[in-house]
Amino acid sequence: MSSIVLYTDGACSGNPGPGGWAWVCLSGTEVREGYGGEKATTNNRMELMAVIDGLSTVEARFADKSLQPGTIEVRTDSQYVKNGVTSWIQSWKKNGWRTASKTPVKNRDLWERLDTLSLRLGARYVWVEGHAGVAWNERCDELARKGVVEHS
């Protein structure tokens, strides 16, 4: 069993506008990267997509039950993602996917996917400060911006 650290980031040129997402997965000495984007999206959707794609890749890698990850720690510079998955989502689900002000939860489709993956994999979430010199977070930012350019 190996410990996995997944750095994630999303970016958008305009909000909405063309967007990109990225992740870097560290496991032992192995480093994997992924990124993508969409032509018309929001920054929050890209932040969510980064985590969803990263966790989906981790899950696929460990589909062979003989390979099992140890802890999975997601490091995100998005308070929206971190607070949403560790705090708000429980209330949203209890309230029929409505916020405290009774409005529908934005990005529900992505939150449901992320919730399923997080629960299945036992992922922990940690907030890291963006643009603060954290090497792997900076790499995610670079890849997410590449996703924006490729989808502009």
Q: Which residues are catalytic?
A: 9-10, 47, 77, 131, 141
Torsion sign over Cα 59, 62, 68, 74: negative
Give exposure, 107-127, as e/b (b: 16+ Cβ within 10 Å): beebbebbbebbeebebebee
CB 123 within 8 A of CB 76: no
The two three-digit tokens of residue 127, written as one number: 């907030």
Distance CA 65, CA 76 (A): 27
Which residue reads 């959707």 in tokens? Answer: 45
Which residue reads 């993956």 in tokens? Answer: 117
